[in-house]
A = this chain, B = another copy of it.
Amino acid sequence: MILASTNPHKLAEVRAILNLPIELAPADLPEVVEDATSFTGNALIKARAACQATGEIALADDSGLCVDVLGGAPGIFSARWAGVHGDDEGNLRLLLTQLADMKPENRGASFRCVAVACFPDGSEIVAEGRLPGSLATAPRGEGGFGYDPIFVPAGSKLTIAEMSAEHKNEISHRGAAFRELAKRLRRRKH
């Protein structure tokens, strides 16, 4: 079983959650364009390509921050919101500026993740995880990455960046999606 990702951090996280033998996909996989219009679509693009190229069961995920008053954006565009892929600080700063006039009750948002598995026989599993919350008006905390410093989970007063990595993994959208995927992988006979 392989993970269609080039990110070793993600592999460690997914391994811990799945408790199943899994490896990073080979680095020489053909590159794909993630041009779908949903998390599910993009995750399937990655996993299908890896499965077809290797003949292995391939897992992949896609995730992002969905802001209510932006109709779910940044969503699939979360990692490149300010224009440059992976510019965490630029993305976060732009989002705060866009929402500067929004009152606390209009700052609702959720982190979402879709994790998928594609099998050589063409069958697929899709699992979703979600963490509801709201956006702070300024970044707080040193942990995590991406939008973690401005995301306050529902029922918490801390941003994700102010929580321990363990606590984050317990409640995170990615954790929830991969735990659901793991449950369904174990149920499946193959």
Which A residues contact B (CB, under 8 angstroms)? 33-35, 37, 69-73, 75-77, 80-83, 93-94, 97-99, 101-103, 106
Contact = CB atoms under 8 A, between A and B. Distances in A.
B71 A35 contact: no
A15 to B, nearest CB: 29
Given A35-B103, A37-B106, A106-B37, A98 B71 contact: no
29 contacts: A33-B101, A34-B101, A35-B101, A35-B102, A35-B103, A35-B106, A37-B69, A37-B102, A37-B106, A69-B76, A70-B70, A70-B72, A70-B73, A70-B75, A70-B77, A71-B73, A71-B75, A73-B73, A77-B98, A77-B99, A80-B97, A80-B98, A81-B98, A82-B94, A83-B93, A83-B94, A83-B97, A83-B98, A94-B94
Chain B CB within 10 Å — which of A94, A98, A103 has the most?
A: A98
A76 B37 CA distance: 22
User: How many copies of this chain sit in the oligomeric assembly?
Assistant: 2
A62 to B, nearest CB: 13
A6 B87 CA distance: 37
A73 to B, nearest CB: 4
Nearest to A35: B101
A27 B47 CA distance: 59
